[in-house]
Amino acid sequence: MNVRSHVAMMFHLDKCIGCHTCSIACKNIWTDRKGTEYMWWNNVETKPGTGYPTKWEDQSKYSGGWEVKDDKLKLKSTDKHKVITNIFHHPNQPSMDDYYEPWTYDYQNLFNAPEGPDQPTARPISMVTGKPMNVEAGPNWDDDLGGSPIYAANDPNLKNLTEEQKLQLFSVEQLVFFYFPRICNHCMNPSCVAACPSGALYKRGEDGIVLLDQKRCRGWRFCVPACPYKKVYYNWSTGKSEKCILCYPRLETGQAPACFHSCVGRIRYFGELLYDADKIEAMAKLPDEELINAQREMILDPFDPHVISEARRNGIPDDVIEYAQKSPVYKFVKVWKMALPPHIEFRTFPMLFYVPPMAPVMAMRKDDKLTSVSDNLFHDIEDARVPLQFLGNLFGAGQTGKVVYALKKQKAVRTYRRAVTVGDIDMATAEQMLREADCSVAEAEEIYKLTSLCTFEERFVIPPMHREMAMEGTTDPMFRKQEAGFGFMAGPKRSV
Amino acid sequence: MTTLNQFLNVILFMALPYVVAVTFLLVSIYRYRTQPFTYSSLSSQFLENKSHFWALVPFHYGIILVLAGHFLAFFIPRGVLAWNSVPLRLYALEITGLALGVMTIVGLIAGLVRRFTTPQLRMVTSPLDWTLYGLLVTQVLTGIGVAVMYPWGSSWFAATMTPYLWSIVKFSPDTSYVAGLPWLVKAHILNAYVLLWVWPFTRLAHVLVVPNPYLWRRTQVVRWNSVTETKAR
């Protein structure tokens, strides 16, 4: 057993209102520089939709993630033998057309335009060329099903859906959508790291954050197609790739990442997981439908004395182990089994998990009348407005079993709380539902509290990063403290 | 006139190579150590991905193979001469070399046109990049010119260029090997010197950091902050 500590995340999709506050918080801090305008380390997608960049989930286009060939785990896009053929021109490289050309507006024209018969306008100006341009795409171009079904019909998750199910998603006055906020998953088995020819991308040993060393990056760009989530972006101005850094400077000072901190829906949870790094390769070779269980197995029980002693033997400090025991992500992922990894069939083992949305629509319009789809107060999971197969393609590697389990538990907890607070549901019925959903009353109370009443501290359980201890091996922390904040920083300029 | 020629020979074919070599080494190392961030090319595939393939692929394969030919003639001239002793093999080698040269220039011109006609690409092309394009075009064109006008270069290279270059490497430069060469060949040599001289200042630095360790490193890269921990795991 090789116990490592890993920061992990959970997004509760049933709470996301799609306000994009997270995206703006991130953009204002990290990606408003030249060459990064088009980068959205955090973005919020509407599902069904094609996402950002367009059709990122379609690996026949981008070749991201891993595949098992001859019982070996290989990168889909650029495994080692393909380095020579792909280095001058990578066939799966996304271009600006797959994102959008960033622009601003010529606001000065509103003030300076000469007097004339028409209102002056602020024309869009390209932030690449500085010339006027026609806006043909943008971030969240298909937000809230805008342009649907032109864009949303291309969603790769619609495969295996019956025509009836598609109709369920798209027909007017029946259509349904939900939001899907995405950041870098800081995967256990990151394909971007494995694909980097320069060794510039790396995983921090102490906490698992995936970072990109700008000084070692040579701009070969294999990371961009290799990441199946398209969360490594190429800076066209500096010629280097950039990605979400999980706000590690904030984490190291005990603050949640900016996108977490600013989330108004309080959908984001941050906590630590202990996992067994020795198992990754064997687990990643398992068939698609076994991958979710495999990842849950790799995540270790932080209360198990054997795990604790192995963690100590690996140099994980006691207070970090203590934080692993308090982790809300551990509860949602491993104990309650309500949070699922996105597209685990890409085999990178994402460390960002999602509680699937219930999309609680109880009635729909039929012949000018609102009709309830179910006799129950909360609709049956099988009748969900979002077809289960769609959620299964997104969160269950094509299978619906794990999604149904998570949704049934959510519904049972709601029914139970309805029985407690309103009382129009019989408590015996509610408890029966809980039993069917594999949930005890105590567990239901805990899920309810952590879902609805959670405080800042309960959502963001940030382990001590111990950078001062990590530093001791190379330099005296007191000396480092004295020189921190003083010195010279060179701008990201390319010329000699 | 003869004295001027002799003087130029000394300057251009005896002194210049050493100036170039010293600059190349010093600046390459200095830049690698002080400005690692700049040590790469600047890919433009992101900004223009339609004609990128038709420019970059022929250029790179062409120039790498042509350069490999030059290195072969430099390191194993006897082997090349032995190969050329059968006329058919000589023709095959010369035609291959010429074809690769044409492939290189096609890619290079395609790259130039691509850069010139795409407004987005002009924004990421510095004056130094345009200069580099000029030097590369000159180099490849003079190379093709030599191949066409003074054929069997794969053979006469061994008798003139190889001993000349080795004389420079051995610090006893002897320009008599190149003094009598036609001006086109001389231009090709001199332009090569200029290219090598600007090399460490330009994006050509990326050639010096081709990702060779990738082929035998471990798949995943993990960095531990503490030195002691790195050893333990």
**Which residue range forms the structural domain that includes residue B24?**
2-232
Query: Residue A117 domain-assigned?
Result: yes
Who among A206, A215, A239 is closest to B224 (CB)?
A206
**What's the domain count of chain A?**
1
Q: Tell me which chain A residues have a C-beta less than 8 angstroms from the C-beta of B48.
A: 95
Are B83 and B73 a contacting pair, CB within 8 Å? no
Q: How far is B115 from chain A (nearest CA, A)?
A: 13
Per-residue model confidence as pLDDT tens digits over B128-158: 999 999 999 999 999 999 999 998 988 899 8
pLDDT range class, residue B25, cuts 50, 70, 90:
very high
Percentage above 70 pLDDT, chain B = 96
Between B52-75 and B161-169, two packed helices, what is the crossing angle to 10 degrees?
Answer: 80
Total-model pTM: 0.92
The secondary element (H helix, E strand) that includes residue B86 is none
Both tokens of A63, joined, read 């070749």
Q: Tell me which chain A residues have a C-beta less than 8 angstroms from the C-beta of B213.
A: 199
Are A277 and B222 a contacting pair, CB within 8 Å? no
Q: Tell me which chain B residues have a C-beta less than 8 angstroms from the C-beta of A87.
A: 211
Angle (CA) A201-A206-A208 rounded to 5° is 45
Give the separation between CA B77 and CA B159, rounded to whole angstroms.
8
Output phi, psi for B127, to 5 deg.
-55, -35
DSSP E strand boundaries for A337-489: 352-355, 363-366, 369-372
**pLDDT at A94 (0 to 100):** 95
Residue closest to A8 by CA, chosen among A493, A471, A424, A461: A461
DSSP E strand boundaries for A13-112: 43-47, 66-69, 72-75, 103-105
Q: How far is A49 from chain B (nearest CA, A)?
A: 23
Q: Where are the alpha helices (DSSP H) in A59-159?
A: 59-62, 83-86, 108-112
Length, in residues, of chain B: 233
Residue B185 has pLDDT above 80, yes or no: yes
Residue closest to B161 by CA, chosen among B7, B13, B8: B13
**pLDDT at A79 (0 to 100):** 75
| C-alpha B201: how far from chain center | 14
Q: How far is A178 from chain B (nearest CA, A)?
A: 31
**Rg over CA atoms, chain B:** 21
For B:146-205, CB contacts with A below 8 A are 201
**What's the domain count of chain B?**
1
Quick check: B40 contacting A, CB < 8 Å? Answer: yes
Q: Which of A220, A224, A285 to mutate to test the interface with B (most CBs of B within 10 A)?
A: A220
Residue A66, beta-bridge partner list: A75
Per-residue model confidence as pLDDT tens digits over A285-306: 999 999 999 999 999 999 999 9
Q: Are strands A268-276 and A3-12 parallel, antiparallel or unpaired?
A: antiparallel
Residue closest to A400 by CA, chosen among A435, A356, A439: A356
- What is the chain A residue with the closest CA to B233? A314
**pLDDT at A199 (0 to 100):** 92
Percentage above 90 pLDDT, chain A = 74
Q: Where are the alpha helices (DSSP H) in A286-362?
A: 291-298, 305-313, 318-325, 328-330
The mean pLDDT of B181-209, rounded to a whole number, is: 95
What sign does the dihedral B8-B12-B18-B24 (CA atoms) show? positive
Are A65 and A352 a contacting pair, CB within 8 Å? no
Q: Is B49–A95 a contact, with Cβ atoms under 8 angstroms apart?
A: yes
Query: Residue A354 domain-assigned?
Result: no
Residue A185 has pLDDT above 60, yes or no: yes
What sign does the dihedral A177-A183-A186-A192 (CA atoms) show? positive
pLDDT range class, residue B228, cuts 50, 70, 90:
very low
Give the separation between CA A320 and CA A185, rounded to whole angstroms.
21
- Kindly give, in sequence order, each residue whose CB lies less than 8 Å from that of residue A222, ignoring residues fewer than 6 positions away: A77, A78, A83, A86, A90, A195, A196, A197
**Rg over CA atoms, chain A:** 24
**Which residue range forms the structural domain that includes residue A29?**
15-251
Specify the CATH number for the domain of residue A237. 3.30.70.20
Specify the CATH number for the domain of residue B83. 1.20.950.20
- Where residue B201 falls (left for φ over 0; alpha for ψ -120 to 50; beta otherwise) is alpha
Give the separation between CA B197 and CA A491, rounded to whole angstroms.
26
Q: Is B225–A198 a contact, with Cβ atoms under 8 angstroms apart?
A: no
Q: Is B220–A93 a contact, with Cβ atoms under 8 angstroms apart?
A: no
DSSP E strand boundaries for chain B: 222-223
